[in-house]
Amino acid sequence: MFLLIIISVFVVIAVVYWLFMSPPSQIFGKFPHKVITEEKIVALTFDDGPNEPYTSRIVNFLNSNNIKATFFQVGKNVQRYPKTTLAIVKAGHVVGNHSLSHKFGKYFNRPELKHEVQASQAIFSKLIGKTPALFRPPWLWRQPLLLKTLKEVSLVPVSGIFCSDLEVFQPKAERIAKRTLARVKPGSIIIFHDGYNAKGASRSQTVEAVKIVVVELLKQNYRFVTVDKLLKVPAYQK
């Protein structure tokens, strides 16, 4: 009996995860995590920043290779490192909205959810002079209320494939890179983390993993594009 209960609990958790958080799930509406193509293109994305010095290290490396990426940033972190966000946009990368505070509990209440989205939008607009058109919810959490809210404020939801399930815990860079390269396919949107929620944390292994992944994918003749180019949608609202 006890074993049956344990199995049932795991089944329920798995179903909830697949419906509400897994990249392939589209049950509540369009939530792209890739495009179908034979062309060797991939979109590198970075969540939870800006977070110094790690965000700038990633940006400097990408710039040195003339690669553009998409940074889904937390509003409170943008307020903490405004110069980093400005430098990212100036270099031709794209920034997207990744909520104001990255707090999971804010996504079950309509007023709080809307505030998380709109307050972060206002921060971007004031700082860079344009408003993001792309939104990635924390933990890829999605449900009808969120998608409805995003539609109301003209934001395109974006999912992706995590570079490694353990990357947030910072295993060795080589391990992150190996797992990432095994997951990359033409048309993939790959998720790295240059930050940690709405606070700082070391992302040194991610920085090194990105270098390994980029070098290898260049050898394989991959081309790097921003999410808006991959999905053929605007990066910013008019």
CA 162 to chain centroid: 9
Tell me which H or E stretch contains 41.
Answer: strand 41-49
Q: How far apart are CA 143 and CA 171, in angstroms?
A: 31
Look up residue 187 and give its DSSP letter: T
- Two structure tokens written together for 121: 């939008």
Report the b/e string of 136-173 with b at 16+ CB within 10 A: bbbebebbeebbebbeeeebbbbbbbbbbeebbebeeb
Of the residues 47, 48, 194, 228, only one is catalytic, namely 47
Q: What span, in angstroms and rounded, lies between the C-alpha atoms of 232 and 234?
A: 7
Judge whether 93 counts as a catalytic residue: no
* Contact in structure between 88 and 50 (CB atoms under 8 Å): yes
Q: Which of 102, 193, 194, 228 is catalytic?
A: 193
**Distance set, CA 94 to CA 48, 157, 235 (Å):** 14, 15, 7
Catalytic annotation, residues: 47, 193
